[in-house]
Structure 1
Amino acid sequence: MNTELFISRRLFFDKANKKQLSQRIIRIALAGIALGLTVMIVAVAVVTGFKKEIRNKVIGFGSHIQIINYDSNNSYETSAVSEDQPFLADVKALPGVKRLQPYATKPGMIKTDEYIQGIVFKGVDENYDWQFFNKHLIEGQLPNINDTARVNEVLLSAQVAKLLRLKLNDRIVVYFITGDEVIPRMQQMQISGIYRTGFEEFDQLFIVGDLKQIQRLNDWRPDQITGFEVIATDFFDIDNIEQQIRNIIISYREENAEILRTQSITRVYPQIFDWLSILDMNVWIILILMVIVAAFNMVSGLLVLILERTGMIGVLKAMGSPNWSIRKVFVYLSVFLTGRGLLWGNIIGVAIVLLQKFFHIIQLNPESYYVDYVPMNFSLSHLLLLNLGTIVITSLILIIPSWFISKISPDKVIRFD
């Protein structure tokens, strides 16, 4: 039988203790722990949710990995590659590769009677995965792209539609510069759908339509494209997947064939992902401060408990209990009390996260934050790690004030009582 654990449990569940002064101080300490854990849960959920939301939007526009012509620069006017590549089957068979799809991009300009807006026309084929744009579609329908005739339907963002005063089913005129031509080529298109992701930087840039339109504008053959988009199952594994794809492409390369290269989404938009990585530092600062506050709350509470229980400590010492055994009693008791504070912190923190996640109570300005509301990412693993880390750190720190027990003299305490 664990004697120290038995004594600490009796002290914890003893109703007579509730009338003592220490219980009021303990309640304040527990409130601090509960508040600290609530702040930590909400902070982690907000930051990870924000990072996930922004990351998914960037990937939705550009996929995880792109396979393009080596001669293509960082602009959206690209060099063509053949759609018939010998390595495609091997790339699709790689673990972690969810989908591979052809695409093409071409910068252009939408002109109305009153306004002009620069855009990037992204062309896709009939097998394109529309899941991302379908999720953010607010009006109309997706372009009805097929494998036969060219389709003039395009998907336009709500921001561009507002800037140019356009609405669903309106016809727009898009101008493109091709090669060294002085006179731009004109293409009339119809707005079949309007989307809004809240990521204004991309919303005001991309319109999505038929890949065959770009092939015609660039005088490309039917099998020529800008490149391939590779969608991975796990964002955090894209560096490894990219390296495997690169090795496959090199192994299939033939002499005098076009040279291809790969680029991950983190290298295409480094400024965005560098900014997101900085947010991790903010989370760590919050976590460290909240754990320190919780630990000091319990240290003060434990000192009060020790002072109120000096008589019991003196009796236990007189009966032969060693100092470390008595210290364990109070450490166990503090862990029980910390657990109660963590329970309330979990209840309040999870409730706030779930309410915001499903009801979007707190709204944001997408022009400043790239999202319409505060995003929440609820993760059981994060929740368990926060609780485990808090209780382990506070328990270790509580060993320090328990050292004062060794300074208590049993004869003086018993004589005083």
Structure 2
Amino acid sequence: MNVPFFIARRIRHTPTESFSATVTKVGVASIAIGLASVIVAFAVLFGYKYAIQQKIFVFGSHITVSKFSLNNSYEETPLALKTPLYQQAGTIPGVRHIQGVATKAGMLKTADELSGAILKGVGREYDWELFRSSLVAGTLPRFYKDSAQCNPNYSCQVLISKRISERLQLDVGKDVIMYFIGNQLRPRKLQVTGIYDTGLEEGDNVMVIGDLRLIQQLNNWGADSVGSYEVFVNDFNDLDNIYRQVREAASPDMRPMRVTDIYKPLFDWMTLLDQNTGIFLGLILFVAGFNMVAILLVLMLERTPMIGLLKAFGSSNTLIRRVFLYVGLNMVLKGLFIGNLLGIGLCALQYYFKLIPLDPKNYYMDTVPIAWNFTIIALVNVATIVLIALALWLPTLVATRIQPVKALVFKK
């Protein structure tokens, strides 16, 4: 028979109106609220980071490879598709997809409005999945089949953002003229087939998605020339390793760049969020541990005569310490159970019903995002048990200093 566990169980079944029962409920509640707060914080943090990254990848990629040049304008130096890097990128472990794109600055003009824009030309191999999830009206362009042909050499279909649509009062099916500046002004008539909305202001304000062949024609490039390669990886955490392999496979006149370098301020800010979350977790565990230590001291004070009686019967200090350690761990486990239900439940409500809205202009999204990471939740539970269990050893040392004679008359 496990004597410490038996005694601890008897202590737990004290009358509900007693002071120790109230203190126990406070301890369980502090653990539950603390854990629920941590679960919600991590779910929102990971959700926000994932949502922002996905919005960035709508307009870019994990690794962008361009021709090395001192030119800082949107006029790109052509990069051939028939290079060892482009043709063999699929053999690099961790690379999911590679595609050729090009960009060109211009002006969109309607009868009453004028707006600067950047045309991003994409080809057959372009991955439309992220844009498909951001589409709010119309359909995605179909450049190579069933597409409106303004010219025998390219399609005039384009995808514009909701911001551009509102600014120029353009709807799906409407035509718009885009002017490109070179040695002379070159207008091109385009047709809006779809409208997207990512919430990422930097891209939504200017980006128009069109046919790569249009930019090739404007720049007098061949069919095998693009402005840059976009490389996507399977695991973002393995980005640095894959980047080194891409850089080794690239020729000396190519310049690979990671998305973390292109959008460095944004990713530095995300790193700062990680640090703040770590501090928040530490504070929650500290407060929960402090509460448990105080509560266990109160329980031991109330049970001083019992401690004296056990010592009078020959119980060791280790046995008595284990009794109160079991009492404390029972409170921790109850708090973890309730905290998990509360935290996961709140996250599930937000995940499925979008109860808490956000201002897209400030937060890049319209609701609080939630990302499920049950590995992190499990690690937080384990860390809570281990750290609080270590903290609970401190108040149990008080039991070793209680003298049986004084303890037996404590309440008299």
> Taking structure 2 as the reference length, what is the TM-score of the superposition?
0.94
Query: In the alignment, does 2:258 pair up with 1:264?
Result: yes
- Note if 1:299 corresponds to 2:299: no
Give the counterpart of 1:174 among 172, 178, 187.
178
| Distance in structure 1 (CA, Å) of the matches to 2:162 and 2:126 | 22
Cα deviation 1:212-269 (Å, max 9, x = unaligned)? 000011111111111211110011111110110111224xx7xxxxx11211111111
Change (3 A) 1:76 1:6: farther
395-404 vs 353-362, which moves further:
395-404
Distance 1:283 1:74 in 2: 37
Aligned to 1:139: 137
Q: Note the C-alpha offset of 1:44.
A: 1.0
Q: Distance in 2 between matches of 1:333 and 1:377?
A: 35
Structure 1, 184-193 or 138-147: larger mean CA deviation:
138-147
AA aligned to 1:273 is F
Distance 2:16 2:292 in 1: 17
Conservation of the 8 A alpha-carbon contact between 1:108 and 1:177:
yes
Q: Distance in 2 between matches of 1:88 and 1:80?
A: 14
1:43-87, Cα deviation, whole Å (9 max, x unpaired)? 111111111100111022101111110116554321101111123
Structure 1 residue aligned with 2:149: none
SS state of the match for residue 368, structure 2? coil
Q: State the 1:285 CA deviation.
A: 2.4
1:113-128 superposed matches below 5 A: 113-128=111-126
Give runs of aligned pairs for residues 182-193 of structure 1, distance below 5 A: 183-193=184-194
SS at match of 2:188: strand
CA distance in 1, matches of 2:400, 2:85: 73
Q: CA deviation at 1:362?
A: 0.6
Percent identity over the alignment is: 40
* Alpha-carbon distance, 1:380 to partner: 0.5
1:19-34 matches, cutoff 5 A: 19-34=17-32
Matches of 1:73 and 1:408, distance apart in 2: 80
Stretches of structure 2 that go unaligned for 5 or more consecutive residues are 146-151
CA distance in 1: counterparts of 2:330 and 2:87, whole angstroms? 58
What letter is aligned with 2:144? N
Distance of aligned partners of 1:397 and 1:129 in 2 relative to their CA distance in 1, 3 Å threshold: same
1:316 maps to: 310
Tell me which moved more, 3-12 or 164-173. 3-12
How far apart, CA to CA, are the structure 2 residues paired with 1:391 and 1:115? 63
Matched, 1:205 2:206: yes
SS at match of 2:331: helix
Aligned mate of 1:386, from 380, 386, 402: 380
- In structure 2, distance between residues paired with 1:184 and 1:286: 57
- Please name the residue that 1:356 is paired with: 350
Task: Specify which of 34, 37, 45 is matched with residue 36 of structure 1.
Answer: 34
Quick one: distance in 2 between partners of 1:307 and 1:323? 16
For 1:192 and 1:396, locate their aligned partners in 2 and report how far apart those are by CA, in whole Å: 63
Equivalent residue letter for 2:187: M
Aligned to 1:256: none
CA positional deviation for 1:4:
2.4
Q: Does residue 157 of the first structure (1) align with residue 158 of the second (2)?
A: no
1: CA distance, partners of 2:95 / 2:333: 43
Paired letter, 2:7: I
Compare 207-216 and 2-11 and name the one that shifted more: 2-11
CA RMSD of aligned residues (A): 1.7
- 1:365-384 alignment, distance < 5 Å: 365-384=359-378
1:56 equivalent among 54, 57, 61: 54
Q: How far did residue 187 of structure 1 move?
A: 1.1
Structure 2 residue aligned with 1:108, among 106, 109, 114? 106
**Partner SS state of residue 399, structure 1:** helix
- Residues 72, 79 of structure 1: 8 Å contact kept: no
C-alpha displacement of 1:357: 1.0
Runs of 4 or more above 6 Å deviation: none
Does the Cα contact within 8 Å between 1:8 and 1:329 map onto a contact in 2? Answer: yes
| Cα 1:379–1:73 shift into 2, 3 Å | farther
SS at structure 2 position matched to 1:340: helix
Q: Check conservation: 1:174, 1:189, Cα contact below 8 A.
A: yes
Work out whether residues 299 and 401 of structure 1, in 8 Å CA contact, stay in contact via their aligned partners in 2. Answer: yes
2:85 to 69, 84, 87: 87
User: Is the 2:106–2:179 contact (alpha carbons within 8 Å) kept by the matching residues of 1?
Assistant: yes
CA distance in 2, matches of 1:392, 1:304: 22
Q: Which range moves more in the overlay, 293-302 or 125-134?
A: 293-302
Could you say if the C-alpha distance between residues 132 and 74 of structure 1 is closer, same or farther in structure 2, counting changes exceeding 3 Å? farther
